[in-house]
Amino acid sequence: MKVGLLIAFAGRNCGGPEVFEREIARAMLAVAPQHEYHLYCLDRRAKKIIDIQDDRVVYHQLKPRVRAAALLTSLPLAMARTRPDIFYAPVIPPPFCPRNAIMSMPCSSLLHHPEFYPPLVRLRLRFLLHRAISKAAKIICPSIQVRDAVEERLNVSADRLPVIHPGISPLFRNIDAEEKRNYLEQKHAIRFPYFLFSGRWEARKNLVRTLEAFALFKRTSQTEHKLVLTGGQSWDSSDVQKALQRPELKKHVVDLGKTESTELPYLYGGADALLYASLWEGFGLPIIEAMACGTPVITSNISAMPETADGAALLVDPHSMDDIAAAMCRMATDSSLREELRQKGLRRAQSFSWEKTARRTVDLYREIAS
């Protein structure tokens, strides 16, 4: 079988979408090496990020560099030349979606909270989504919450909406305490207890309120905890930058910027908790990454996050600064709670792997191709 994949984000250093494209491409070749894979890449750096050197994988660099133009011109031409039996768009669908296509709906935020997106991005995503929804043979959803939202709001039948969870890379693991401590001291001079925020600086991630909650926590607690940030900035980061200039935050918040993926297991593992009080998620990959590293998680009680955590995290109201601050106080002072959530998280993380994700996705290929 000849499989075509649209690689739209790899190479852009954009977090979750890039991780998903990279990991699903690698895992599919591992679980189904008998197939031929054609990767249609929008970014010239994608080949380096995907990093598969195999005769069964063919890279097609789409031109021009203007993404919209490439989707409208060189992608259809490349697909006409290669004639894939199955076409899969892991993150965003193309303007022209063939009948043998599978697309993913990574999040339902566009349906519930379109205000999280800049107007032009919102219009483009809506255009692509509505064109593809009617034609795609299957629409993969990362959670039951996303499936239910698509079924209800876009009037799509449930039989077209398989739920396939993302996986966790073996990179995320429980590292020896001394190894973590030495790495964090030498690499980032981290010699203090801390909470970790991992994600892009955008409104949906609720970072401004998270910072305000941390400031409240510092005013009301007697701990030495700091807040460590890792993640890239986006179009929507000016409010975060302004908040970080406040004196009570400036000396207690450490911004590492966008770190390499190989650093994340150490940053997760050294934290007293991952602080992930997002306003909306279709799944929430950092939740299970942190759990796989043995790190307790504070996350939101809305959208897909309770489903992803499945009882293995401390849930908060992401709109309540007091609630988030109280959760930090519990995590900082209650070692038995941290250990309980650590053990629950490690067990929960065992439910996820990219191999499982790839096998279920390849099963869909066979179903549609037949």
Quick one: pLDDT band at residue 15, thresholds 50, 70, 90?
confident
Please check the confidence at residue 365 and state whether its pLDDT lies above 90: yes
Predicted confidence band of residue 222 (pLDDT cuts 50, 70, 90) = confident
Among the CATH numbers 3.40.50.2000, 1.10.287.3510, 2.10.109.10, 3.30.70.270, which is that of 2-167+353-369? 3.40.50.2000
Mean predicted confidence (pLDDT) in 2-27: 93
Whole-number pLDDT of residue 13: 80
pLDDT of 370 reads: 81
Per-residue pLDDT at 20 exceeds 90: yes
Evaluate if residue 236 carries a pLDDT over 80: no
User: For residue 369, what pLDDT is reported?
Assistant: 87
Which sequence spans correspond to the domains of the chain?
2-167+353-369, 177-349
Predicted confidence (pLDDT) per residue in 55-110, tens digit: 999 999 999 989 889 999 999 999 999 999 999 999 999 998 888 899 999 999 99
Q: Given this model, what pLDDT does residue 14 score?
A: 79
189-193, 195-199, 200-204, 354-358, range with the lowest pLDDT? 200-204
The set of residues, in sequence order, having a beta carbon less than 8 Å from that of 332 and lying 6+ positions away, is 193, 217, 221, 223, 225, 272
Q: Is the peptide bond before 64 cis (omega within 30 degrees of 0)?
A: yes
HEC secondary structure over the chain? CEEEEEECCCCCCCCHHHHHHHHHHHHHHHHCCCCEEEEEECCCCHHHHHCCCCCCEEEEECCCCCHHHHHHCHHHHHHHHHCCCEEEECCCCCCCCCCCEEEECCCCHHHHCHHHCCHHHHHHHHHHHHHHHCCCCEEEECCHHHHHHHHHHCCCCHHHCCECCCCCCCCCCCCCHHHHHHHHHHHHCCCCCEEEEECCECHHHCHHHHHHHHHHHHHHCCCCCEEEEECCECCCCHHHHHHHCCHHHHCCEEECCCCCHHHHHHHHHHCCEEEECCCCCCCCHHHHHHHHCCCCEEEECCCCHHHHHCCCCEEECCCCHHHHHHHHHHHHHCHHHHHHHHHHHHHHHCCCCHHHHHHHHHHHHHHHHC
In this predicted structure, what is the pLDDT of residue 98? 87
Beta strands at 36-41 and 2-7: parallel, antiparallel or unpaired: parallel
% pLDDT > 90, the chain: 88
pLDDT beyond 90 at 207: yes
Whole-number Å distance between alpha carbons of 290 and 268? 6
pLDDT (0 to 100) of residue 186: 96
Q: Using 50, 70 and 90 to split pLDDT, how confident is the model at 339?
A: very high
The mean pLDDT of 134-140, rounded to a whole number, is 94
Mean pLDDT, rounded, for 118-144: 93
Q: Are 357 and 21 within 8 A, CB to CB?
A: no
In this predicted structure, the answer to whether residue 237 has a pLDDT above a threshold of 90 is no
pLDDT score of 123 more than 80: yes
Give the per-residue pLDDT at 366: 93
Does residue 114 carry a pLDDT above 80?
yes
The mean of the pLDDT values for the chain is 95
For 321-334, write each residue's pLDDT tens digit: 999 999 999 999 99
pLDDT at position 70 is 94
Q: What mean pLDDT comes out for the span 21-25?
A: 96
pLDDT value at position 97?
A: 85
- Do residues 330 and 337 make contact, with C-beta atoms less than 8 angstroms apart? yes
Check pLDDT > 80 for residue 234: no
> For residue 238, is pLDDT > 90?
no
Local confidence band at 215 (pLDDT 50, 70, 90 cut-offs): very high
Mean pLDDT on 174-180: 96
pLDDT band at 248 (very low <50, low <70, confident <90, very high): confident
State which fold the 177-349 domain adopts: Rossmann fold (3.40.50)
pLDDT value at residue 232: 85
> Tell me, what's the pLDDT at 338?
98
Residue 49 has pLDDT above 80, yes or no: yes
Integer-rounded Cα Rg, in Å, for the chain is: 21
Half-sphere exposure of 125 (CA within 13 A, CB side): 20
Q: Is the pLDDT of residue 219 over 90?
A: yes
